[in-house]
A and B are shown apart, each in its own frame.
Chain A
Amino acid sequence: MTEPTSTPAERPVGGDAPLLQVRDLHVDFSSGGKPVHAVRGVNFSVYPGQTVAVVGESGSGKSTSAQAVIGLLPGNGKVVGGQVLFDGQDIAHASKKEFVALRGRHIGLVPQDPMSNLNPVWSIGFQIREALEANGLAKGAAAKERAVELLEEAGLGDAARRAKQYPHEFSGGMRQRALIAIGLSSRPRLLIADEPTSALDVTVQRQILDHLDTLTAEMGTAVLLITHDLGLAAERAEHLVVMYKGQVVESGPALEILQRPQHPYTQRLVSAAPSLASRRLESVHRAEVVEHAREHAVEAHERVAGGTHAAVGADTATPNVIEVRNLVKEFHLRGSGLRGETLRAVDDVSFSVRRGTTTAVVGESGSGKSTVAQMVLSLLPVTSGSVLFDGVDLTELDRKQLFEFRRRVQPIFQNPYGSLDPSWSIFRTVEEPLRVHGVGDAKSREARVRDLLEKVSLPASSLRRFPNELSGGQRQRVAIARALALNPEVVVCDEAVSALDVLVQGQILTLLNDLQAELGLTYLFITHDLAVVRQIADDVVVMEKGRLVESATTDEVFESPKQAYTKALLEAIPGGSIRLGA
């Protein structure tokens, strides 16, 4: 077992020789026809006890490179060139048997998604014990005991009881701790951490990464950290490897790369990285946008008032387009028992959204932020309290008024893969709102759809395409075009950029910001990501466990947060403490 006392530099053996050296690695995937070159000529080294981060967007080949190191490429993937030297031995083409000996004992893995990486039918203790037994470290009762110790070491309280439980009884963070316990159980010299916390809330993420840092430092374990988050990488690693389309575009000391990126891609990545340093995107003066929004609202009123029924709201546009008052939402859960339990998902929440501005509702999972969005969209009935749109309570709208309301408030959802009907062409998708609301004739609708696609910078040739042919960012543009088709006053963005790669995310945020100025839109922005809030929001509402914690302007929240929870959220933003280059 490795002694955890010495620092990497003082280590007698291998202090100067790299533990892992990847040389000119090439990995191909064969899927049907032509092979796909997923990794092309990648080079990097990891020294004992050192943390090296490989950063890249999805499809950059970062995970594939890591999988090649531990011999876990998917069935159709193959190392077609180069070397992987572990402790001087080339393991790029090691036999299955050699890899079995290597894995766990010498190279550990902490995988990405804690929800799917534990076997649901075995207890946590069993799954740790198994690793110990496979690597010949302990057996039987001793293994059982050791498993409990390892869980404790990974920061789980009441470990003896926890070891007997099954994965579904654990929260995401607890599962990730269990996975860390498994990854480090045999004291490997290299730990591959593949996006170890990207599925977790920021505050949990921070705790777990801190803990992982402490453990690996104590044990002298080298860490190969795979991440999409430049801030996180810079904060945790000494050496950075930036990958783009299967190649390394830049590598070197973490701070140097962040502060003086040389390659245009890295520069792009650094400037797009949402962090504390970034500011509200500005296109026009805010006051002008607000004025524009008011005009837009008045126009909308006139348009609506032309109808036979009474218009929603008064003749003049109110400054607060949305007011949420003492909003409560309860869900009845079918628990173990006849009566079940009641969950208060939203608990007495009040805030207002100023016309022509962006209000962000921030919170971690379970904070009730999305439930608020659903109620503002009138997709979910309120338990008590009210949502006022333009001064009118949504619950008092009749069917006709509700239909009219839908025209004025539109959503954009998170999942770019689920928000477009896969069997509808882009044209039909964007045209649908116009048809539903009987706007124009076929010809004018087509012109409008073309216009909308242009607004979201999609080529006209995408009209005839289907969602499965577009990337996540492009689908999100289509979703934006659909939301804008009816010229709404308010757009509710429910985690609208969370599933996107950072560069695409930046692009979509800029687009949303430009559209706001151009069309006088009001945004209600639901997100878990404070860094995004900084870029787009004017006002912030912080939620925790259904309750409103703090609500203020963005600057106030970021510069002088009043509540401990808000402070914790801010501190947990990865890379927050690092000053980026100009």
Chain B
Amino acid sequence: MGWYIGRRLLQMVPVFFGATLLIYALVFLLPGDPILALFGERPASPAAVAELRERYNLDEPFIVQYLLFIKGIFTLDFGESFSGRPVIEQLAEAFPVTIKLALIALAIEAVFGIAFGFLAGLRRGGLFDSTVLFLSLVVIGIPVFVLGFTAQYLFGVKWGVVDPTVGGDPTFAELLLPGAVLGALSFAYVLRLTRNSVAEALSADHVRTATAKGLGRPRVVTVHVLRNSLIPVVTFLGADLGALMGGALVTEGIFNVPGVGRLLYQAVIRSEGPTVVSVVTVLVLVYLLANLVVDLLYAVLDPRIRYV
């Protein structure tokens, strides 16, 4: 297992540098003046331009610029937004909210996705299965922002069940609707994945053998079918975190949740280039880390990996 972790960590090093280099290159190597581009359509004051030029060390060769950028990441120096507040400070404020939101979304997609997927997989080809499969496809087909507005309109405006927007320092209850919207897409994916892997596991030879041992059906489907089916689902949850972050951007924007997504959303709307780059960089790091955690979890779940 030690070797497995070590190898995973080693593999992450080039990916980390490659991904950050990619982000950096996207901003600073594209044709045109990157500083002016960072300002988007708004007019740039010469002072601000000079400040940014210095901050991003644009007078240095590209590789030096990049290395300084990496140094900034390791020293948690992400610069300031146009309002003059350090980005790291804003991130520190926003992260707890987003983590709360993400946990709600994750819980919803995992619990309901696995439960429905499990039931559908057990009765493959039945009415429940067909219905759930089709509905999950519909959920996947509706883009997050459409779903978000629809939910906001129905629950917030028309029926008035919840506040349409959340506002500062939200409680878990307030985050329930945005969390559900955020988790909806992945819920559908988890459902389909669980359903397929349960259906596949059901026809596995070792499940037949377990039945032949004299185990009752409940024990067979939980201990032998579900346990094995969860392995791909867990891997998916990690990879899916990327989609969740893209979704958080939209969801937090719509519901006005003061999280990292809204920070990014507002930076995008206001064309605050430097903030966008910083926040995305942080999110990519979180994503890489989360995937590493999932890889380790995978090793715990699947004994075949442990000894490789």
Direct contact of A and B (CB under 8 A): yes
Q: Assess whether A100 is in contact with B208, with CB atoms less than 8 Å apart.
A: no
Q: Is A5 on the interface with B (CB-CB < 8 A)? A: no
Q: Is A16 on the interface with B (CB-CB < 8 A)? A: no
* A116 in contact with B204 given A111-B209, A121-B227, A169-B307 (CB within 8 Å): yes
Q: Assess whether A130 is in contact with B213, with CB atoms less than 8 Å apart.
A: yes
| Residue in A118, A123, A182, A336 whose beta carbon sits within 8 Å of that of B307 in the complex | A336
Q: Is A119 on the interface with B (CB-CB < 8 A)? A: yes
Contacts of A134 in B (CB 8 A): 213-216, 219
A190 and B227 CA atoms in complex are apart in Å by 30
Least Cβ–Cβ distance between B50 and chain A, in angstroms: 50
Chain A interface extent, by class: 35 or more
A123 and B223 CA atoms in complex are apart in Å by 12
Least Cβ–Cβ distance between A71 and chain B, in angstroms: 9
A555 and B47 CA atoms in complex are apart in Å by 97
Q: Is A303 on the interface with B (CB-CB < 8 A)? A: no
Contacts of A104 in B (CB 8 A): 212-215
Q: Is A70 on the interface with B (CB-CB < 8 A)? A: yes
Contacts of A118 in B (CB 8 A): 206, 209
Q: Is A72 on the interface with B (CB-CB < 8 A)? A: yes
Contacts of B231 in A (CB 8 A): 121
Chain A contacts with B in 68-97, Cβ cutoff 8 A: 70, 72, 74, 96
| Residue in A111, A113, A120, A337 whose beta carbon sits within 8 Å of that of B212 in the complex | A111
Q: Assess whether A168 is in contact with B304, with CB atoms less than 8 Å apart.
A: yes
Contacts of B207 in A (CB 8 A): 119
Contacts of B204 in A (CB 8 A): 116
Least Cβ–Cβ distance between A340 and chain B, in angstroms: 11
Q: Assess whether A182 is in contact with B213, with CB atoms less than 8 Å apart.
A: yes
Chain A's closest residue to B217 (CB) is A96
Q: Is A109 on the interface with B (CB-CB < 8 A)? A: yes
Q: Assess whether B223 is in contact with A130, with CB atoms less than 8 Å apart.
A: yes
Least Cβ–Cβ distance between B219 and chain A, in angstroms: 7
Q: Is A565 on the interface with B (CB-CB < 8 A)? A: no
A196 and B180 CA atoms in complex are apart in Å by 51
Q: Assess whether A116 is in contact with B206, with CB atoms less than 8 Å apart.
A: yes
Q: Assess whether B212 is in contact with A109, with CB atoms less than 8 Å apart.
A: yes
Contacts of B223 in A (CB 8 A): 122, 130
Contacts of B215 in A (CB 8 A): 100, 104, 130-131, 134
Contacts of A557 in B (CB 8 A): none
Least Cβ–Cβ distance between A123 and chain B, in angstroms: 8
Q: Mark A153-193, 1 if CB is under 8 A from B, else 0.
A: 00000000000001011000000000100110110000000
Q: Mark B170-210, 1 if CB is under 8 A from A, else 0.
A: 00000000000000000000000000000000011111111
Q: Is A528 on the interface with B (CB-CB < 8 A)? A: no
A336 and B305 CA atoms in complex are apart in Å by 12
Chain B interface extent, by class: 20 to 34
Q: Assess whether A120 is in contact with B211, with CB atoms less than 8 Å apart.
A: no
Q: Assess whether A100 is in contact with B217, with CB atoms less than 8 Å apart.
A: yes
Q: Assess whether A117 is in contact with B205, with CB atoms less than 8 Å apart.
A: yes
Q: Assess whether B217 is in contact with A108, with CB atoms less than 8 Å apart.
A: no
A535 and B209 CA atoms in complex are apart in Å by 37
* A121 in contact with B302 given A130-B223, A336-B307 (CB within 8 Å): yes
Least Cβ–Cβ distance between A438 and chain B, in angstroms: 46
Q: Is A329 on the interface with B (CB-CB < 8 A)? A: no
Least Cβ–Cβ distance between A194 and chain B, in angstroms: 10
Contacts of B217 in A (CB 8 A): 96, 100
Contacts of A355 in B (CB 8 A): none
Q: Is A474 on the interface with B (CB-CB < 8 A)? A: no
Q: Assess whether B212 is in contact with A72, with CB atoms less than 8 Å apart.
A: yes
Q: Assess whether B216 is in contact with A100, with CB atoms less than 8 Å apart.
A: yes
Q: Is A103 on the interface with B (CB-CB < 8 A)? A: yes
Chain B's closest residue to A119 (CB) is B206
Contacts of A74 in B (CB 8 A): 203
Chain A's closest residue to B210 (CB) is A119
Chain B's closest residue to A71 (CB) is B211
Q: Is B30 on the interface with A (CB-CB < 8 A)? A: no
Contacts of A96 in B (CB 8 A): 217
* A121 in contact with B213 given A166-B304, A168-B304, A336-B307 (CB within 8 Å): no
Chain B contacts with A in 1-28, Cβ cutoff 8 A: 3
| Residue in A113, A122, A131 whose beta carbon sits within 8 Å of that of B213 in the complex | A131
Q: Mark B54-69, 1 if CB is under 8 A from A, else 0.
A: 0000000000000000
* A116 in contact with B205 given A103-B212, A336-B3 (CB within 8 Å): yes
Q: Is B262 on the interface with A (CB-CB < 8 A)? A: no
Contacts of A109 in B (CB 8 A): 209, 212-213
A183 and B219 CA atoms in complex are apart in Å by 18
Least Cβ–Cβ distance between A115 and chain B, in angstroms: 9
Contacts of A166 in B (CB 8 A): 303-304
A74 and B210 CA atoms in complex are apart in Å by 14
A169 and B227 CA atoms in complex are apart in Å by 20
Q: Is B308 on the interface with A (CB-CB < 8 A)? A: yes
A104 and B204 CA atoms in complex are apart in Å by 19
Q: Assess whether A120 is in contact with B214, with CB atoms less than 8 Å apart.
A: no
Q: Is A450 on the interface with B (CB-CB < 8 A)? A: no
Q: Mark B237-249, 1 if CB is under 8 A from A, else 0.
A: 0000000000000
Contacts of A374 in B (CB 8 A): none
A186 and B213 CA atoms in complex are apart in Å by 9
Q: Assess whether B206 is in contact with A103, with CB atoms less than 8 Å apart.
A: no
Q: Assess whether B308 is in contact with A336, with CB atoms less than 8 Å apart.
A: yes
Chain B's closest residue to A185 (CB) is B213
Chain A's closest residue to B6 (CB) is A338
Least Cβ–Cβ distance between B232 and chain A, in angstroms: 12
Q: Assess whether A182 is in contact with B211, with CB atoms less than 8 Å apart.
A: no
Q: Is A267 on the interface with B (CB-CB < 8 A)? A: no
Least Cβ–Cβ distance between A564 and chain B, in angstroms: 34
Q: Is A105 on the interface with B (CB-CB < 8 A)? A: yes
Q: Assess whether B3 is in contact with A337, with CB atoms less than 8 Å apart.
A: yes
Q: Is B228 on the interface with A (CB-CB < 8 A)? A: yes
Least Cβ–Cβ distance between B75 and chain A, in angstroms: 32
Contacts of A203 in B (CB 8 A): none
Q: Is B147 on the interface with A (CB-CB < 8 A)? A: no
Contacts of A72 in B (CB 8 A): 208, 211-212
What are 16 A-B contacts with C-beta separation under 8 Å?
A72-B208, A100-B217, A103-B212, A104-B213, A105-B214, A117-B205, A118-B206, A118-B209, A119-B207, A119-B210, A121-B228, A121-B231, A130-B210, A134-B213, A166-B303, A179-B209
- A72-B211, A104-B215, A108-B212 known; 4 other A-B pairs, CB under 8 Å? A100-B215, A117-B208, A121-B228, A130-B219
Task: Give B contacts to A, CB under 8 Å.
Answer: 3, 203-217, 219, 223-224, 227-228, 231, 301-304, 307-308
Leading 10 A-B pairs by shortest Cβ distance: A104-B214, A109-B212, A131-B213, A116-B205, A166-B303, A103-B214, A119-B206, A104-B213, A117-B209, A134-B215
